[in-house]
Chain A
Amino acid sequence: MGKLELIQALNSDTGRVWNVGWHPKGAALASCGEDKSIRIWTKDLRGKWTNKIVLTDGHKRTIRQVSWSPSGNYLASASFDATTCIWDRKSGEFECNATLEGHDNEVKSVAWSSNGLFLATCSRDKSVWIWEVNDEDEYDCTSVINSHTQDVKKVTFHPTENILASCSYDDTIKLYKDEPSEFEWICYETLTGHSSTVWSIAFDSTGSRLASCSDDGTVKIWKEYPSGFPPGNGAPTWKCVCTLDGYHERTIYDISWCRLTGLIATASGDDCVRVFKEDANSDPDQPTFSLVATEKAHSQDVNCVAWSPEVPGLLASCSDDGEIKLWEFKK
């Protein structure tokens, strides 16, 4: 068994914290929540994480997610006010230089593609939107996809390709790709298996596997079979190859798959953060994962977990209890 050691609790007295997002270089952490502001935390000279920047006036309602662009030059924020803001610091200070409107109601999630050319948003209006990033801070809507039949909870891009995944209150996960002949993104795969809302999804470092977490209390690992299933038997497909059941007592709200260590962290409504590690002799077609740490991390629902993209084992979590916590995973 390993353990999660608390490095620092970041208390900002802002009420419920919905999401934290690491800057791609790991040097800053952005947080957002029901106070409608975005806070950017950086390490001071003594090595303490402190809140240097507070971004307000972008949104009229709760901010549900923040997401840094791959270059780290832009920060996108998705809000229940139905808009997505793009912040940049071209002028030296962070400013909201574009507001993406179009969703009918609450925007639940926002994500950048690995090449930084696309942005995806999803909403309670059941749709997933793909935006193309143009010069001069213009964001054009290239696709509006109505594949899900319910509230879409999260969008996330493949780590290297122009492939998008989304998950929903309709219990499914969907995968999308750019289809140049149609001038549009299309949904090409629907993953079913969860018996309740799929709250979050995370690709591994290669993008050939996807982890999902659900209100049904399970984590599922999905694997891509590029030559069909069984392999060599047709069109590319994704299969569920592992279900982690019985570890969580309540809804699992978020999942993060570390691209440095391969560790999977989960955030749950039972106030705990858990870490899973793939077993050394794990069969690629039937992988096994072991629970290596459970920590009662917060006093209320944990809303989000995020592994640092730079420091192996460094994990951030945030909660309804208003706190953001930084943890170090120790074997």
Chain B
Amino acid sequence: MSRFSGTLQLTDLDDFINPSQECIKPVKIEKTTNSTGSKITIREDGYFQIADDGSSQKLQKVEITLADCLACSGCITSAESVLVTQQSQEELLRVFQENDKLKSINSPEAKVIIVSISIQPLLSLSVRYQLTPNECASKLAHYFKRLGADMVVDMSVADDLAILESQREFIRRFRSRENDGVKNALPMLASSCPGFVCYAEKTHGSYILPYIATTKSPQQIMGSLIKEYVRNNLGNRQIYHVTVMPCYDKKLEATREDFYSKETDSKDVDCVITAIELEQMLSREGIELNSLDNGTFHQPWVSNDSEVSPDLAGNSGSGSGGYSDQIFKYAARELFGRDNVNLEYKSIRNPDFREVLLESNGEVLLRFAIVNGFRNIQNLVQKLKRGKSQYDYVEVMACPSGCLNGGAQIRPGDGKSVKELITEIEGLYESLSSPLPEENKIIKHLYDHWLGGQDSDKCSKILHTQYHEIEKIPNALNIKW
């Protein structure tokens, strides 16, 4: 069973032809400059190129990387085998072991391994091991350090940056529509769900992509923070960056070419590990998380990095990062001078399609929505395509109930329903403190010392990204009854 979100599972499946046969990259052809073309024959033992003189040369098989799969409109679920080898717990353990060896001989090749933990898988593990979120975080910190991590860090700094950037992007888009009549500016769609982004790129292209916020997802903001700013602070040492995330789709996101740095020849996020995989790693080693010692979090982005006990926070609003709430409140204040607005969501058709309005004398000033799950994404996308959407902002997530129910969160144990589990995790999320991102001193420090201030060119270069329409490849094999 695939662990991708439903959105990705549905994309371009095929029942008659195996992915390997249909894959556009089965063999590599070394181009010779003087020949005009090449004949290739297929034999049982491989593919052979026939030269003009009749001699034949065996062709190399090409290794298909996840990046190839992302750039192709063909199969996607079959990419899972690729994924499993490049982004698995086995790979992670291998890296830890190798690095240990390098460290033991004081090799300059040894990397600094940093593990960034996001809040959703943490809560999933908290419920699984019956720990408070902070306890769970400190046990996990200990576990990763035992495996060989040099630092374990809290990803909420990236969550906050993503919120702040999204807030300002929304205001820019709103004003460009109001003042300059720019079409395609709104609704702004949340960009943090890689399942939705990948689906939009592969199936709806130019209809939808302009609406997706250019603000990077928290995972990729974290990637830039670690691989650029922290790397710099650590004297440009090589870093291996691991994130702990609630869904498989995040592995696809980490592999996007946009998030690969030529400068350092590395990805901003090297390996993504999910809650479900962490549970497997722990149980394979026979470790009860509860019985581990408490560890600490690092803060390598502050000048005097001292280790601290985890003190987790969330953003008020949905468990997917609170985008709709945070942007709504900010926009109400910035655009209409309305402070402390009360958000009352109304379900449209089902609890995974909720909308909230800011009104003034019966006039709708802002219309926001939270849309989760594939069927609701469908209705949203179709409305957008037909120009019938009235929304200004939509928090779109591919998984029903959003990220707290991410595709790679731990499944409910005996006798518990998925619904009960989600309710429990949501309860934990709501119990966290939710300080305002704009009041986060660390963020201010980062804007000042790393990003050259808010709205700087560096901000747009580092905290924003772009999307690419993937054209369907007309393939003779695709034309079937």
- Please report A residues at the B interface, Cβ cutoff 8 Å: 62, 80, 101-102, 104-106, 124-127, 140-144, 146, 150-151, 169, 183-184
Contacts and interface: CB of A to CB of B under 8 A. Distances in A.
29 contacts: A62-B481, A102-B378, A102-B382, A104-B13, A106-B480, A106-B481, A124-B15, A125-B10, A125-B13, A126-B10, A126-B13, A127-B10, A140-B349, A140-B379, A141-B375, A141-B378, A141-B382, A142-B350, A143-B375, A144-B10, A144-B375, A146-B6, A150-B15, A151-B15, A169-B15, A183-B349, A183-B351, A184-B350, A184-B375
Nearest to A61: B479
B12 interface: yes
A146 B9 contact: yes
A151 B16 CA distance: 9
A104 B73 CA distance: 11
B127 to A, nearest CB: 22
B354 to A, nearest CB: 12
B350 A183 contact: yes
A183 B351 CA distance: 8
A142 B373 CA distance: 11
A51 B475 CA distance: 36
Contacts of A126: 10, 13, 15
Nearest to B347: A183
A105 to B, nearest CB: 7
B375 A142 contact: yes
B470 to A, nearest CB: 14
Contacts of B375: 141-144, 184
Closest A-B pairs by Cβ, 3 of them? A183-B350, A141-B378, A151-B15
Contacts of B328: none
B173 to A, nearest CB: 26
B96 interface: no
A187 to B, nearest CB: 14
A146 B379 contact: no
Contacts of A146: 6, 9-10
A234 to B, nearest CB: 20
**Main secondary structure on chain A at its contact with chain B?**
loop
A102 B386 CA distance: 13
Contacts of B481: 62, 80, 106
A141 B12 contact: no
Contacts of A183: 349-352
A2 B13 CA distance: 45
> Which among B352, B385, B481 has the greatest number of chain A C-beta atoms within 10 A?
B481
Contacts of A151: 15
B203 interface: yes
Contacts of A104: 10-13, 203
A218 B10 CA distance: 31
Contacts of B12: 104-105, 125
Interface string B376-389: 10110010010000
Contacts of A142: 349-350, 375
Given A104-B203, A183-B349, A144 B13 contact: no
B379 A144 contact: no
A191 B379 CA distance: 31
B374 interface: yes
Contacts of A150: 15
A125 B10 CA distance: 7
Interface in B5-60: 6, 9-13, 15
B477 to A, nearest CB: 12
Nearest to A108: B481
> Which among B9, B10, B349, B374 has the greatest number of chain A C-beta atoms within 10 A?
B10
Given A106-B480, A144-B374, A184-B375, 15 more contacts: A101-B382, A104-B12, A104-B13, A105-B12, A124-B13, A124-B15, A125-B12, A126-B10, A126-B13, A141-B382, A143-B375, A146-B9, A169-B15, A183-B350, A184-B350
B400 to A, nearest CB: 9
A142 B379 CA distance: 9
A302 to B, nearest CB: 16
A141 B481 CA distance: 25
Contacts of A169: 15
Interface string B359-382: 000000000000000111011001
A173 B130 CA distance: 41
Nearest to A140: B379
A141 B379 contact: yes
A143 B378 CA distance: 10
A253 to B, nearest CB: 12
A120 to B, nearest CB: 13
A121 to B, nearest CB: 12
B6 A144 contact: yes
A145 to B, nearest CB: 9
A140 B352 CA distance: 14
A239 to B, nearest CB: 28
Contacts of A124: 13, 15
Nearest to A124: B15
Nearest to A102: B378
A303 to B, nearest CB: 11
Nearest to B202: A104
A101 B203 CA distance: 11
Nearest to B373: A144
